[in-house]
A and B are shown apart, each in its own frame.
Chain A
Amino acid sequence: MKFKWWHGALIFALFWALLSPLASSSPDGLERVAEDKGFMEAAREAVFEVIPDYVMPGVGNEAVATILAGIIGTLMLFGIGYGVARVLKTKKG
């Protein structure tokens, strides 16, 4: 198979997923505001959980679990984005 530009782009995206354990675990902007202004406790637990907090359940090493979650999500989104676009291209309506 010939190497196309988007193969490189996908590898680039996966490379970012590999860096995911380096992410800051501090609260994000909205969480910071919620903590400072005292409405954090209004947040409700998720109705169901699949891969909560970007950590693959059942994997002992947290960095590995995070990378796995990142790779799964990145590949999943490539597939969905590509698939949606393909369907929209073929089904001219």
Chain B
Amino acid sequence: MHIPDGFVSAPVATVGCVVAAGCVAYAVRATNKKMGEKQIPLMGVLAAFIFAAQMLNFPVAGGTSGHFVGAALAAIFLGPWAGILVMTCVLVVQCLVFQDGGLFALGANIFNMGIVACFISYYVYRGASLFGGQKRGKLVGGGLTAWLSVVIASVACAFELAISGTIPLGIALPAMAGVHALIGIGEGAITAAVLSLIMATRVDLLELEKA
């Protein structure tokens, strides 16, 4: 879902960069306050894994592919603010080194796949876990959360395309949400698989975000 330059107008790109910069600055302060020793390698491996997994586009219906985003995974492990920082690292490297996502659209991409996706994920996951902390409940909650995060991020993207005058909202919204409802199934499956692997090996890593 990386927006290339040209899909969003200069005002939308500018607002995206300003909002992203503000949020990342706040995320640095918020993360600074509650950073523990275990989070250091965790942030490193999450950024590394999310980058690697994002490269693996999987086919969905009709000659289309989708890829993992990872915001839900990051937010479940680290909370929304540190999650945003991990997603920002990934998106900045993808933009600057791999030319995935436009330079001017970087703010909009951080907004959609970092800020929006991490916040949706964090609060929905926390909300879902109120209904029971059983292992299966957490896996189902994590998977559904991950699906939702991709769909909502694509809705944010549709709004940006529409405000930019690239495509009317009435066309962008169902098209983006529709295809990402399929892609999100992959997101949910990968997120649940990783959570299940962690629960089987180092369940304590999932307990770090209890503030």
Binding site for B on A (CB under 8 A): 4-6, 9-10, 12-14, 16-17, 19-20, 22-30, 32-34, 36-37, 39, 42-44, 46-47, 49-54, 66, 69-70, 73-86, 88-89, 91-93
Contact = CB atoms under 8 A, between A and B. Distances in A.
Interface residues of B, number: 70
B172 A73 contact: no
A30 B171 CA distance: 13
Contacts, number: 203
Interface of B: 1-7, 28-29, 31-32, 35-37, 39-53, 55-60, 62-67, 82, 85-86, 89-90, 93-94, 96-100, 102-103, 154, 157, 161, 166-167, 171-172, 175-176, 179-180, 183, 201-202, 205
B40 A86 contact: yes
B168 to A, nearest CB: 9
Residue among A50, A83, A84 having the largest count of chain B Cβ atoms under 10 Å: A84
A2 to B, nearest CB: 13
Main secondary structure of the interface of A (DSSP, over half): helix
Given A29-B66, A44-B5, A46-B99, A85 B44 contact: yes
B58 A16 contact: no
B52 A46 contact: no
A42 B32 contact: no
